[in-house]
Amino acid sequence: MISPELNFNLFTSDLSLYLKNQVKVGLFGSGVGLSVVLGFGAAYACYYLLSVAKKPILIAGGKKFHQFLRDQCPVVSETYYPTFWCWESRVQTLLRPFVTAKPWVSYRNELIRAPDGGQISLDWFDNDDSASYPDQSMRPTVLLLPGLTGTSRESYILHMVQQSRDLGYRCVVFNNRGVSGEKLLTPRTYCAANTEDLEMVIEHVQRTIDKAPLMAAGVSMGGMMLANYLGRKGSEVRLKGVVVFSAGWDVFECTASLEKPLDRFLFNSYLTSCLQASVDRHRTILEKKYDIDHVMKAKTIREFDERFTSVMFGYPSNEDYYRDASPIHKIKSVQVPMLCLNAADDVFSPNHAIPVEAVKQNPNVALLITCHGGHIGFLEGLWPRQSTYMDRVFRQFTKAVFENGSSLNDLY
73-110 burial code (b ≥16 CB/10 A, e <16): bebbeeebbbbeebbbbbbbbbbbeebbeeeebebeee
- Catalytic residue, chosen from 180, 346, 349, 387, is 346
Assess whether 375 carries a catalytic annotation. yes
CA triplet 256, 262, 264: central angle to 5 degrees?
50
> Are 394 and 217 contacting, i.e. CB atoms less than 8 angstroms apart?
yes
Specify the amino acid at residue 387: S
Dihedral sign of CA atoms 168, 233, 404, 380 in order? positive
Residue 201's alpha-carbon distances to 194, 253, 315, in angstroms, are 13, 30, 24
Please identify which of the residues 324, 326, 372, 375 carries the catalytic annotation. 375
- Do residues 225 and 198 lie in contact, with contact meaning Cβ atoms separated by under 8 Å? yes
The sign of the CA dihedral 170, 176, 182, 185 is positive
Strand ranges (E), 135-196 = 141-145, 170-175
333 carries an active-site annotation: no
302 within 8 A of 322, measured Cβ to Cβ? no
Q: Distance (Å, rounded) from C-alpha 167 to C-alpha 371?
A: 29
Helix boundaries (H) for 234-281: 251-258, 261-263, 269-281
* Active-site choice (220, 246, 257, 310): 220
Told to judge if 280 belongs to the known catalytic residues of this protein, a careful annotator would answer no
Which residues are catalytically annotated?
A: 220, 346, 375
